Amino acid sequence: MSLRLSGGRRLQSPPGEETRPTAARVRLAAMNLLAPELQGCRWLDLCSGSGVMACEALQRGAAAVVAVERNRRVAAIAEANLAAVAAGLSGRPEVAVHCCEVLRFLAAAAPQPFDLIYVDPPYAAGLYAGIAAGVAAGGWLAAEGTLVFECAANNVPALQPGWRQRDERRYGSCALQLLERA
């Protein structure tokens, strides 16, 4: 199976049922919601899977993209996808992929905060609260930054202490929750 970015570029997709690529209409909706913040931003893609969301951010002007994926084989696919997209861009954005469990990754202090953090874990894994806490504790999000949770529309995560909801949108069985520091 192959994925296509909104500009038409083909990406590799991990085989099997282990990952759930973000649907094209949800990707486009997310990019439209975040458009004013994308140019020159630092983007952190947690539970990145194939890296398709980070690739979308790159092609819309992100200056730096970091993807975190726990599965080594899937992380290698994300790395290949990000490298292919970055190679076709002027300005050579910074790109990095970390093969690490998300909560372990967030346990460290951020070397530099990110403007946008996109989180797409397995919906039923119960990771949202821990990720919100880890992002806050480690200084991963810039003061005016946005944390985006992709989640099941019928199971939007409860708002965690220290966060306020900026927006919430539903697209069929999927929802996007945009958060900022309270």
- Residue 7 pLDDT: 64
Q: Are strands 174-181 and 163-171 parallel, antiparallel or unpaired?
A: antiparallel
Whole-model pTM? Answer: 0.93
What's at 166, amino acid-wise?
Answer: R
Torsion angle, alpha carbons of 25, 22, 55, 180, to 10: 90
Rounded CA gap, 36 and 56, in Å?
14
Q: Which of 6-15, 99-108, 133-142 has the least mean pLDDT? A: 6-15
Rounded CA gap, 94 and 102, in Å?
20
Mean pLDDT, rounded, for 4-27: 72
Rounded CA gap, 141 and 145, in Å?
6
User: Model confidence over 20-60: pLDDT tens digits?
Assistant: 677 788 999 999 999 999 999 999 999 999 999 999 999 99
Q: In what order do the strands lie in the sheet with 174-181?
A: 94-99, 64-69, 42-46, 114-119, 141-152, 174-181, 163-171
Rounded CA gap, 130 and 153, in Å?
20
Statement: residue 2 has pLDDT above 70? no
Statement: residue 133 has pLDDT above 60? yes
Rounded CA gap, 40 and 153, in Å?
30
Which domains, and CATH codes, for the chain?
2-181 (3.40.50.150)
- Half-sphere exposure for 124 (CA within 13 Å, toward CB): 2
Measure the N-to-C terminal CA separation of the chain; round to a whole number of Å.
41
User: Model confidence over 64-107: pLDDT tens digits?
Assistant: 999 999 999 999 999 999 999 999 888 889 999 999 999 999 99
Residues 6+ apart with CB under 8 A from 60: 31, 35, 38, 39
Q: Average pLDDT over the chain, rounded to whole?
A: 92
**pLDDT bracket for residue 10 (50, 70, 90):** confident
User: Model confidence over 110-122: pLDDT tens digits?
Assistant: 999 999 999 999 9
- Residue 8 pLDDT: 65
- Residue 22 pLDDT: 76
